[in-house]
Chain A
Amino acid sequence: MQNSQQQAYDRGITIFSPDGRLYQVEYAREAVKRGTAAVGVRTPEGVVLAADGRLRSSLQVAESVEKIHKADEHLGIATAGHAADARQLVDLSRRRAQVERLRYGEAVDVETLTKAITDNIQEFTQTGGARPFGCALLIGGVDEDGSPRLFETDPSGTPYEWKAVAVGGNQREAQDELEANYPEVETVDDGLQLAFDALAATADGGLTPEGMSAATIPVETGSFETLERSEIADHLDENGLLDEE
């Protein structure tokens, strides 16, 4: 009896454990760690997003692994964890960005958008019968005043702002790499370099460009731009990050 009562704490999402934890939310964080890594780097010249993806077979179309999404002209989102859950939040972001343009005639700030998304995520940690989102998002962009911003959302619905951050599998290794080398980052290219280095730290034996994606939002243009896979391959090759096999 005692045992079955205790087990209930991790079944009902809306139930606190006696020591004040929400197990379902913590399990959702574990789900994020099971995925491949996504990295964001804020530089004075813009924001960089990069992600590693996993191809199940050589027959899978690489482009169908979507880890980085354009949310609006000035906004990009990198995702880690359950891709299907993330897609829902990406679509919410796109709609929210358009609502802002309709309502205020302005592009939505990265912080405002992030908080709209995290408020939505939070609802799913307090609603009976619901399940938390098993994904983390990195929301990067350039505000109307020209400031580059980078935020993380986690399954609890808490927003965090970062200079550089990694989420997903082997997050710790990637974050160590970011912490060690962030001070040297000045340009968008530096940011890309650091992002790839951080991703390489999560992958044994180097990276393969096939599953990877990267995007930048430079301050100068304020526009989301994805990198071609060949550009990613060149970057990796120049810096010896390619998988040797």
Chain B
Amino acid sequence: MNPNDRPTLGADGSPTGDRFETGAGLQDGFADGDHGVAGDGAAEYSTGTTTVGLVAADGVVLATDRRASLGGRFVSNKDVVKVEQVHPTAALTIAGSVGAAQAYIKQLRAESDLYRTRRDRRMSMEALSSVASGLLRGLPVSPLLGGVDPGTEGAEPHLYQLDGAGGRIEESAYAATGSGMTVATGALEREYDPDADIEAVVPTAVDAVLAASERDTASGNGVVVARVTSDGVETERRDGTGALMNGATGDIQ
């Protein structure tokens, strides 16, 4: 991988978001239509999705759209869950290659479970994010990791932006990844309230994903929202208007 092709988080004005090369051609994934050709001739892989993470006073909200696309031109699935619980009080959004992301999440859960059984305590967010960034190295996935430490004076929420080069940046307020990240970030910039609690933050997260769904062809088909608090991870599905879907709430796992 050419180091110059490493994702440049947030600084990249390109609407295609983070890019990763893979040896394979077109894969089923949250990919958009921009399949440029990398220097060595391999097809370039881009993330086609919108995922956002917001820090609230008492937890973290993660939200994603529900579309999976082939090359960003064909909607291959309209009801995908791209937020996964990886720890009793942490979850991860995925943007990028589905196969790599699924294997990555399984591995991260195994690391978290093993740590807990061996030491009889949960991983801290520092430990989880360290492992998460280490495991991510070289994978065509750009996740957001949101989680909560118990803390001595109530829950301590943490949000991290991870990248395929093994980078880890802690965000104190909000972050977005995927092809819709620029549109979503605009919405977050305007609406985010640093003092809001988790219930007040959820509408902002939904608005950001809906805004991106309006303008980014690789994002859409509704929203999945995950609330990460010291009680655990609760996930709900919403339709294309942002309304809660009947009987569709429930935890992942």
- A111-137 vs B, CB cutoff 8 Å, 1 = contact: the mask equals 110010000000000000000000000
Q: Is the CB of B119 within 8 A of A105?
A: no
Q: How far is the CA of A109 from the CA of B131 in the complex (A)?
A: 17
Q: How far is the CA of A103 from the CA of B118 in the complex (A)?
A: 15
Number of A residues whose C-beta is below 8 Å from B?
Answer: 8
Q: Is the CB of B126 within 8 A of A106?
A: yes
Q: Which of A103, A112, A115 contacts B131 (CB 8 A)?
A: A103
What 4 pairs between A and B have smallest CB-CB spacing?
Answer: A104-B127, A105-B130, A105-B126, A104-B130
Q: Is the CB of A109 within 8 A of B127?
A: no
Residues of A within 8 A of B129 (CB): 105
Residues of A within 8 A of B131 (CB): 103-104
- What's the minimum C-beta distance from A38 to chain B, rounded to whole angstroms? 26
- A75-109 vs B, CB cutoff 8 Å, 1 = contact: the mask equals 00000000000000000000000000001111001
Q: Is the CB of B119 within 8 A of A104?
A: no
Q: Is the CB of A111 within 8 A of B119?
A: yes
Taking Cβ atoms with an 8 Å cutoff, the residues of B that contact A are 115, 118-119, 123-124, 126-127, 129-131, 134
Q: Which residue of B lies closest to A104 (CB)?
A: B127
Q: In the complex, given contacts A103-B134, A106-B126, what are 11 additional A-B residue pairs having Cβ atoms less than 8 angstroms apart? A: A103-B127, A104-B123, A104-B126, A104-B127, A104-B130, A105-B126, A106-B124, A106-B127, A106-B130, A111-B119, A115-B118
Residues of B within 8 A of A106 (CB): 124, 126-127, 130
Q: How far is the CA of A51 from the CA of B134 in the complex (A)?
A: 40
Q: How far is the CA of A115 from the CA of B131 in the complex (A)?
A: 21
From residue 211 to 235 of chain A, which have CB atoms closer than 8 A to chain B?
A: none
Q: Please classify the interface of chain B as helix (H, G, I), strand (E, B), loop, or mixed, using the class held by over half of its residues.
A: helix
Q: Which residue of B lies closest to A116 (CB)?
A: B118
Q: Is the CB of A109 within 8 A of B123?
A: no
- What's the minimum C-beta distance from B87 to chain A, rounded to whole angstroms? 13
Q: Which residue of A lies closest to B126 (CB)?
A: A105
Residues of B within 8 A of A104 (CB): 115, 123-124, 126-127, 130-131
Residues of A within 8 A of B126 (CB): 104-106
- What's the minimum C-beta distance from B179 to chain A, rounded to whole angstroms? 30
The contact sample of 12 A-B pairs, CB cut-off 8 A, is: A103-B134, A104-B115, A104-B123, A104-B126, A104-B127, A104-B131, A105-B130, A106-B124, A106-B126, A106-B130, A111-B119, A112-B119
Q: Is the CB of A105 within 8 A of B127?
A: yes
Q: How far is the CA of A109 from the CA of B127 in the complex (A)?
A: 13
Residues of B within 8 A of A112 (CB): 118-119
Q: How far is the CA of A111 from the CA of B115 in the complex (A)?
A: 13
Residues of B within 8 A of A105 (CB): 126-127, 129-130
Q: How far is the CA of A103 from the CA of B131 in the complex (A)?
A: 6
Q: How far is the CA of A104 from the CA of B134 in the complex (A)?
A: 9
Which of A104, A109, A111, A112 has the most CB atoms of chain B within a 10 A radius of its CB?
Answer: A104
Q: Which residue of A lies closest to B120 (CB)?
A: A111
Residues of B within 8 A of A111 (CB): 119
Q: How far is the CA of A104 from the CA of B122 in the complex (A)?
A: 12
- What's the minimum C-beta distance from B168 to chain A, rounded to whole angstroms? 9
Q: Is the CB of B119 within 8 A of A109?
A: yes
Q: Is the CB of B119 within 8 A of A103?
A: no
